Amino acid sequence: MYQPKFTITNNILKSIGKIEACRELIENAPLVPAYEAKFRQEAIIRTVHHGTHIEGNPLDTGEVVAVLEGKEVEARDRDIQEILNYRNVLKFIDRKQTGKHSRSAPGRNFAHSGSEVRPSKILQRDLLAIHKLTVEKILRWDAAGKFRKTQVVVKNSKTGQVSFIPPKANLVVGLTGDFFDWLNSDNSQSIHPVLAAGITHYILVYIHPFIDGNGRAARALASMVLFSRGYDIKKFFSLEEYFDKNAHRYYKTLQEVSNQKAESLSQRDLTVWLEYFCEGLAEELARVKEKVQKLSLDIRLKGKTGQIVLSERQVKLVEYIETYGSISNRQWRSLLREYSDDTILRDLKDLQKKGLIKKKGSTKGAVYVMK
């Protein structure tokens, strides 16, 4: 059975700490259903766009939205089909995960004890189904959802130079089977879900089990691993966007591991890849967290004022108080140093009139807190 080799470095620990903090805030943020639906739809669009763009699909975000809405777009049939296919892959993952197990509560330890609900198994047939959807109407029917039976090579799309030679075709079934045995083992369940997803991503890219569509299938199954282990994080995020925005680093990091001199897959050290993978999810969730925090603040303010009519300065003041509990004269002068004291004092007085904040203490030593 496959056993991954990696080291838990300070970089990995730092990224996972950031992921956990962002996850807890996002999952506990007070958002109304309409906003949650909007965030999920935006994440779907970003995932579909960047997940296909990194493979060479030329459609921009606006064109992707149009395709998903059923509108006509001037583009190659294959490019349009890739967009539709990847959206169907995401729908498949949703269907597989809905109702199969209870989601882990925010902050719960990632290890599953005997008293907790064990995530549903992810099997080879799930990978084959994902691949079939990925290449529907693109590859021949006898290659869609079927392991390759010929040798393939990975080339640099710009130079045409061979950058990686995957395992021989006669090894694909055995390597894939060994990997899935590990994925559903107690050993796999004992490691952090983000690491399990990162390992899944790398192993499938390395094995390259299909004629085409390997990258999309690998990224999709990695997401499926995250979701199945309680890390869907409301499906607000898109790792594909992180990969696509610096595709050179993405492929370089994968290649760095694949080019190691190792006799077996289990001997390949995945540390550098897992550092990159964890960093990517941490950065993406930090970006989502900022949007969620801002919207959560807006919702809380709306509940107090009926509608939000605040200047940019006032928003900064309230956000500061929300984050740190209070703001003093010295602190607001530092926060809004380009404005006069009179201007900021008028803003603070207006916020008091709106019932959002209150003043505590004397004039010189006064602080402002949320009401």
User: SS3 for 368?
Assistant: strand
Residue 213 marked as a ligand binder? yes
Pairing of strands 367-370, 327-328: antiparallel
Residue 330 marked as a ligand binder? no
Residue 217 marked as a ligand binder? yes
- Do 122 and 129 touch, CB atoms closer than 8 A? no
Residue 37 marked as a ligand binder? no
Q: Tokens 């992707």, residue? A: 64
Residue 218 marked as a ligand binder? yes
- Do 103 and 232 touch, CB atoms closer than 8 A? yes
- Do 294 and 312 touch, CB atoms closer than 8 A? no
208 given a catalytic annotation = yes
Rounded CA-CA distance 116/119 in Å is 9
Helix intervals (H) in the chain: 10-28, 33-53, 61-68, 77-97, 124-134, 169-183, 186-190, 193-207, 214-228, 239-245, 247-258, 271-305, 312-324, 329-335, 341-353
What type of residue is 105? Answer: A
Residue 178 marked as a ligand binder? no
Quick one: DSSP state of residue 5?
B
Per-position DSSP letters for 282-301, written without gaps between them: HHHHHHHHHHHHHHHHHHHH
- Of the candidates 49, 112, 208, 248, the residue annotated as catalytic is 208
Q: State how far Cα 318 lies from the chain centre.
A: 29
Query: Please, what's the largest Cα pairwise distance for the chain?
Result: 80
- Do 286 and 237 touch, CB atoms closer than 8 A? no
Residue 77 marked as a ligand binder? no
Rounded CA-CA distance 200/113 in Å is 22
Residue 216 marked as a ligand binder? yes
**Cβ of 77: how many Cβ atoms within 10 Å?**
9
Residues of the binding site for ATP: 212-219
> Which residues are tagged catalytic?
208
**Could you tell me which residues are annotated as the binding site?**
212-219
